[in-house]
Chain A
Amino acid sequence: MDLYLPIAEVSVNAPLLVALGALVGFISGLFGIGGGFLMTPVLVFLGIPPAVAVASMSNHVAASSMSSVLSYGRKRAVDFRMGGVLAAGGALGSVAGVELFRWLRLLGQADLVVALSYLIFLGIIGGLMFWESVGAILRRRRNAPPRPRPDRRPPWLYGLPLKLRFPRSRLYISVIPPILLGAFVGVLSAIMGVGGGFILVPAMIYVLRMPANVVVGTSLLQIIVTSALTGVLQAGRNQTVDILLAMLLLLGGVLGAQLGARASSRFRAEELRALLALIVLLVGLRMGLGLFFTPHEPFVLMSGNG
């Protein structure tokens, strides 16, 4: 059944989109990520204009994160104070990111920056995560004890002013690193059409040293705020949110996210991480390597009249 999308102005296969939404929602619930980094490239590949895909995705990311964060909240796995601080940074970042994206589109360099961001960020994160998780799996196979987590607290994190207590995370740290982290993820959210969980989760574990049980729920809280704001700004400023497209993705996405969150307890954490790392690496390479090959068509039409 084909459906004509009023804002994207293209005709798409509706059941295919619902199924895609469900698949990405499942992955999102399984790994505790927004899933935008997977969905946005797929939508572009299906012929949705990139600007519309990036903006409509933020609605989808907000909805599926909302669905999962409530489940995590009931399990008391959300640090609302930390989430609030991250989200404040995220709000600043997404306002800056939407403006930056507008400016890049005017310059005609939006495609390049999107592709490079995918290659660099997904490549680095995926590579590190894969290395770490394969190491963990091998150690468990050899029955070696898991490598002890270095508990040395970095002085730059604890020496900064504006300290705040985060009881649920058992932390007493400055608010500056979480705000900077939130802002950085907010900018990426606007440019790449992603929630930013793939950066947020590792950063919260390795940089902020938050306990693993509250990391996913808290990152989802930040993602909701950032992507909701990005979605509203994209629609208001650029008129690129297609509500029908978002609804189709949502329909599958929220159901998939619930199933994914349920399925996640059946896998070992390091196996999940290794799988996610592979997906992240593949998407990053697929999006970015095109920049290095000689194109068939040296010219490219730019969307929008700028």
Chain B
Amino acid sequence: MQGALPPPSPTAASAVISAALTETNVRVNSDFRGDQIVLYGAVFDPARRPSDVVVIVRGPDQPVRIAKKSRIGGVWINSRPVVFQGAPGFYIAASTRPLDDIAHFAVLRRLEAGVGHLAMHAPAELRTETRYGVRDVVVSSLGADYLDWRNAVVRLKTAEHLFAVNEHGVRFVDRGLFRAEIPLPAEAPIGQYQVRILLFQGGQPVAEKDRTLTVEKVGVERGLYLWAHRRPWSYCLAAMAFALAAGWAASSAFRRD
């Protein structure tokens, strides 16, 4: 997805970035209330050029179904839901400065850096038409409102703490040494997360590192989750048998007094 990095200036050795997560496995158990992932890293640049660091954490992709409310006969009713593909289930972009100050729109768009640059699209709404004699022009049935829909996805996901932009989430703590904190809410989806650490110099990404973070259910939570999804019928019968037995037990316990 990322093109070749532009060649560094021939006079200086190129900059290198390295980073590590303090925790690579987030264990979701019964007292999971979200987590704070700390990332440390260092920039090695003999030429000491001004550097910016951007950390992008991306959870597993989850299609988003979104509907718009419209007023019909005095009642607010949902329109037909629109499905956006390519939206991550969790996304945070932390940086040393506002992203727009670090690089240009096109660079950010190519790297999908920032919630505004996520490559989300609604394939079911697309169709091709011939317009002004040009064949196969892709148009969306959402039309001019497309941006409204896209912004709504970002706004609602942000409200659920699943999308975030932290313009000062990466701090240089010592010369070349930086630190970032990634807040992970309890609602964060389970799965493999991609952590991409990018070094920007002069508006261009000059080095990058990729790390992975695994969020997984463990213990009883994992057992119950797998049971419910792999053997739903035995799970539901057991749940109901337990419920009825609890009702019966309470009734007999209270019988005497």
Contact = CB atoms under 8 A, between A and B. Distances in A.
Interface of A: 2-4, 6-7, 9-11, 59-60, 62-68, 70-71, 74, 107-109, 111-112, 116, 224, 228, 231-237, 239, 241, 243-244, 246-247, 250, 254-255, 257-258, 290-295, 297-302, 304-306
B28 A235 contact: no
Contacts of A6: 217, 220-222, 224-225, 228
Q: Which of B76, B77, B243 has the most CB of A within 10 A?
A: B243
A239 B228 contact: yes
Contacts, number: 185
B186 A59 contact: no
For chain B, give the interface size range: 35 or more
A247 B30 CA distance: 14
A238 B74 CA distance: 32
Contacts of A257: 247, 250
Interface string B239-257: 1101110111111101100
Contacts of B243: 59-60, 62-63, 66, 228, 231, 246, 250
Given A246-B239, A291-B75, A65 B65 contact: no
Interface string B67-99: 111010011111111000000000000000000
Contacts of B138: none
A107 B78 CA distance: 9
A62 B217 CA distance: 29
Contact of A108 (B81, B217, B246, B249): B81
B8 interface: no
A232 B240 contact: yes
Contacts of B63: 305
A235 B69 contact: no
B64 interface: yes
Interface stretch (B173-181, B205-213, B229-237): B229-237
A231 B29 CA distance: 25
Contacts of B28: 4
B239 A67 contact: no
